[in-house]
Structure 1
Amino acid sequence: MKQTNLFIIIIFSSLLLTACAGKREINDLALVMGVGIDKGSKDGTIKVTAQVSRPGDARGQTGAPTGQSGETTWNVEGEGESIFEAIRNLTAISSRRVFWAHNFIIVINEEVAKEGIGDIIDFFTRNPELRMRTLIALTPDKASEITATITSLEVIPGEALSKLFRYTNISTLAPHTEIKDLLAAYLSDSTEPILARISLEERKIDSLKPEEGAKLKQVELSGAGVFNNDKLVGILQADELQGVILFRDKIDSGVVVVACPKEPKSEISVELNKQKFDVDPIYKNNEVSFNAKLNATVTVVEAGCPFSVSDKELVEKLEKAVEAKLKEDINKSISKIQKEYKSDVLELGKVFQNEYPYEWKTMKKDWANIFSTAEVNLSIHANVESGSLLFQPTISGKEERKEK
């Protein structure tokens, strides 16, 4: 009995001794916050830029303590014939082990994406340290510049980039795309990948020279890239995305600007709220079509002309104008995706497969051609509501005095 107890104690003691065998000290790790992928300086090579946090300097202070640079990140690049080789070459100049678990975003240059991102998908989905919720985006600029651009609101550029995507369900300027979304679309036999697009634009005003206006570049959302398999085949601008995102994601808000019902030269802006969007597949006479229906509550947020929700005639005209504008914009985007890109980023194949699984088996091999000719019948219903501040027409008191 004593021997048995002694044996049990030895076993448990050995487990305790190995409990910290795989530990990693934070002081030994280079915490990657952002990654940029560009073409290398030589043909057939690729350049990887890693944005590494400098914990000692990332405290928001204006002056650099003794022995520190004051820069919040250390941006370093490596080149190789593959992503893995380029990253391995980073270790030659890094005093710490590159650690990916805290990475916010991966940014890919569009020239790289045109040649194919299959190897990028493969590498980053195999990496056990990388989170599948990591954001991924395209840029027409150098990815190394995007990941190194400092903003005035966030200390870490990688964190600033990730926070741009917090409100994409309101702005609809770009889709919210993560590694898991890209992988799912890439592996799908119907849906094609679509990636958010970000670019550098002169938006920031130098506080020392405000009279010069915006001169410093900042990163902003600027549409999306459409893929066929793993290759970039086209770009959707920000104003073409509202309808596309409806098919893929839930949109909390949107803005539509139309002419005033009684004053065509003036404009009225409305916000779309409580949107409900449904897509129903139809298979008849060996032909595929889709019925898409959008119901949205509309709130007047800016009126460049007198408008009152108590005037039913004005309200009805506004609803019709909003419906016509939305239908025109969405149909234009659908047509561009179907006819020009022939890439099912709208996930219509997934919708059809769920409803007609047997028919899908015979269609999936030729889905790209079927999708490009499938009719999408869009119906839109807008219902105007408004807050208490807009129940009365916004007419100047001076104008009322003149009328008297």
Structure 2
Amino acid sequence: MKHMTIRTLFSALLVLTLLPLTGCWSNKEIEDLGLIVGTSLDLEKQEESREESAGRAGGPPRRDRITITNQFVTAETTGKGTKTGSSPQKAYNNVSETGDTILPTLRNMVLRIEKHAFAEHSKVIIVGEDLARTLDLQKILDFFIREQEMRPSGLLLIAQNRASKTLESKKPMEIPAFKLVEMTHGHERTTKILPPTTLTKIEGKLHSGTSFLLQNVVSSSNGDIKFSGAAVIEGKTKKLRGFLNEQEIEGLTWITGKGKGGLVKSVDKKTGQPIIYEILSMKSKIKPHVDGNDISFNIEIESEGRIAEHWVVSEKTMETEFLKRTEKAIEKEVERLVKNALDKIQHEYKTDVSGFGNKLRIKYPHIWKTAKKDWDQTFSEVPIKHEVKITIKDYGTSDE
């Protein structure tokens, strides 16, 4: 009986071990698939002719039309099907379709492609500037958030001008969607790039009703793409409010303390020569204060770093007087970046994209209940003070 029990347990263990090795009933052959790796969405501005207008009399109102471009990677485009000696073809294939809603427009691509479209490997969605200004992002992204085939880790970007241009490249072996994803990793080395925003994160931001930022990408006439500043999305309308430049993004990164690395270029007060400070760490505390009906904030910013480069040849790097002077110069530059960023979001755009409201909600929930209804307007009027403390911990390998 004991031997029977052991044999039974051994057989059950063997079956459980072999189960993961069985084939998947729903597997798809890679040669039959058109893998979608990136998608762009653009607004089509079309003027309606007299005949079209007359024909639509009494019909449904005219809707904005959206051009969707899917970037496909197939066995052929990646070179698997390329014949020896033939000229290299692009590593991707872009297919566009226009309609007034997302899913029917995507389904219409079936009429133009021979492969089964497969979106589980989609890396990035880029929304064009005109579309983001015209329609709210919750409507634009509703299908992508609901669709089970879409990766929740897919990234979201805003393109200045036309989004489809960012999915084009003059280099035959380059896949633009993959390049965009790789570029987002640069936020660990510079304060000019935002941390990546995924579909999962964007869903929470849209439902919260708060304003937020999305990374902006621009394309040049020679086919190059570049991250340049950020798009401001207004919480109430969920539409594009405007853009921040690279220096304003640097200022906001110091305000939030979310930077992982980067540089600050300052000028030595005594000699007028440049000094480059490399950030090793940064932290920021946004402290709300309430006095009756008056709301205010203090920002306390601290950073430790190293002198990465300096042109002050007349000074020794390790000398205390020089270090103190350098720390003051860097603090002054960071204060300038923070002041300019605050001025832009408070007084021009009137949108809280740095989490001030959230800090108020946590510390003064009873105040937040009344302030949250029109928080962006309130935020534009509250006084904000800031202090910066820089500490140089390292001078590099040279003491000169």
Q: TM-score, normalised by structure 2?
A: 0.83
- Is residue 302 of structure 2 the alignment partner of residue 295 of structure 1? yes
Q: Decide which of 327, 338, 341 is 1:330's aligned counterpart.
A: 338
Structure 1 residues 41-62: Cα deviation after superposition (integer angstroms, max 9, x where no partner): 636211000000022332599x
Question: Could you tell me how far 1:183 is from its partner in structure 2?
Answer: 1.9
Question: Could you tell me how far 1:151 is from its partner in structure 2?
Answer: 5.0
Contact preservation (8 Å) 2:31, 2:74: no
Query: Equivalent residue of 1:102, what SS?
Result: coil
- Is residue 90 of structure 2 the alignment partner of residue 71 of structure 1? yes
Contact preservation (8 Å) 2:316, 2:322: yes
- Is residue 130 of structure 2 the alignment partner of residue 126 of structure 1? no
Query: Equivalent residue of 1:120, what SS?
Result: helix
Which runs of no fewer than 5 residues in structure 2 stay unpaired?
A: 1-22, 48-63
Q: 1:151 to 1:387 in 2, by over 3 A?
A: farther
Aligned match of 2:107: 88
Aligned match of 2:41: 37
Aligned match of 1:281: 288
Question: Could you tell me how far 1:150 is from its partner in structure 2?
Answer: 4.7
Q: Decide which of 230, 251, 269 is 1:224's aligned counterpart.
A: 230
Query: Equivalent residue of 1:234, what SS?
Result: strand
- Is residue 252 of structure 2 the alignment partner of residue 244 of structure 1? yes
Aligned match of 2:264: 256
Q: Decide which of 247, 271, 275 is 2:278's aligned counterpart.
A: 271
Contact preservation (8 Å) 2:78, 2:91: yes
Q: 1:199 to 1:35 in 2, by over 3 A?
A: same
Question: Could you tell me how far 1:115 is from its partner in structure 2?
Answer: 0.6
1-structure distance, mates of 2:146, 2:86: 38
Q: 1:151 to 1:312 in 2, by over 3 A?
A: farther
1-structure distance, mates of 2:104, 2:258: 39
Contact preservation (8 Å) 2:317, 2:395: no
Contact preservation (8 Å) 2:186, 2:193: no
Q: Decide which of 205, 211, 215 is 1:192's aligned counterpart.
A: 211
- Is residue 35 of structure 2 the alignment partner of residue 26 of structure 1? no
Aligned match of 1:390: 398
Contact preservation (8 Å) 1:247, 1:347: no
2-structure distance, mates of 1:41, 1:86: 17
Query: Equivalent residue of 2:280, what SS?
Result: strand
Which runs of no fewer than 5 residues in structure 1 stay unpaired?
A: 1-18, 203-215, 393-404
Question: Could you tell me how far 1:22 is from its partner in structure 2?
Answer: 4.0
1-structure distance, mates of 2:166, 2:399: 46
The percent of aligned pairs where both chains have the same amino acid is 25
Question: Could you tell me how far 1:253 is from its partner in structure 2?
Answer: 1.4
Aligned match of 1:346: 354
- Give the number of aligned pairs: 361
Query: Equivalent residue of 1:373, what SS?
Result: coil
Q: 1:72 to 1:377 in 2, by over 3 A?
A: same
Structure 1 residues 272-318: Cα deviation after superposition (integer angstroms, max 9, x where no partner): 22112221222222222222111111311121222423221111111
Contact preservation (8 Å) 1:342, 1:372: yes
Letter in 2 for 1:222: S
Contact preservation (8 Å) 2:39, 2:68: yes
2-structure distance, mates of 1:268, 1:329: 16
2-structure distance, mates of 1:64, 1:71: 14
Contact preservation (8 Å) 1:101, 1:130: yes
Question: Could you tell me how far 1:224 is from its partner in structure 2?
Answer: 0.3
1-structure distance, mates of 2:347, 2:188: 27
Question: Could you tell me how far 1:332 is from its partner in structure 2?
Answer: 1.0
Question: Could you tell me how far 1:258 is from its partner in structure 2?
Answer: 1.6
Aligned match of 1:209: none
Question: Could you tell me how far 1:177 is from its partner in structure 2?
Answer: 2.1
Q: 1:379 to 1:64 in 2, by over 3 A?
A: farther
Alignment of structure 1 residues 137-156 onto 2, 5 Å: 137-150=157-170, 155-156=174-175
Alignment of structure 1 residues 166-177 onto 2, 5 Å: 166-175=185-194, 176-177=196-197
Letter in 2 for 1:337: I
Contact preservation (8 Å) 2:71, 2:95: yes
Q: 1:72 to 1:160 in 2, by over 3 A?
A: same
2-structure distance, mates of 1:196, 1:187: 19
Worse overlay, 290-299 or 20-29: 20-29
Contact preservation (8 Å) 1:309, 1:385: no
Query: Equivalent residue of 1:71, what SS?
Result: coil
For the aligned residues, what is the CA RMSD?
2.7
Q: Decide which of 71, 76, 80 is 1:51's aligned counterpart.
A: 71
2-structure distance, mates of 1:248, 1:350: 12
Letter in 2 for 1:228: E
Aligned match of 1:180: 200
Aligned match of 1:109: 128
Question: Could you tell me how far 1:66 is from its partner in structure 2?
Answer: 8.4
2-structure distance, mates of 1:268, 1:187: 44
Worse overlay, 172-181 or 325-334: 172-181
Query: Equivalent residue of 2:184, what SS?
Result: coil
Structure 1 residues 153-209: Cα deviation after superposition (integer angstroms, max 9, x where no partner): x742211111000121322223122222322221114x313110011236xxxxxxx
Question: Could you tell me how far 1:91 is from its partner in structure 2?
Answer: 1.2
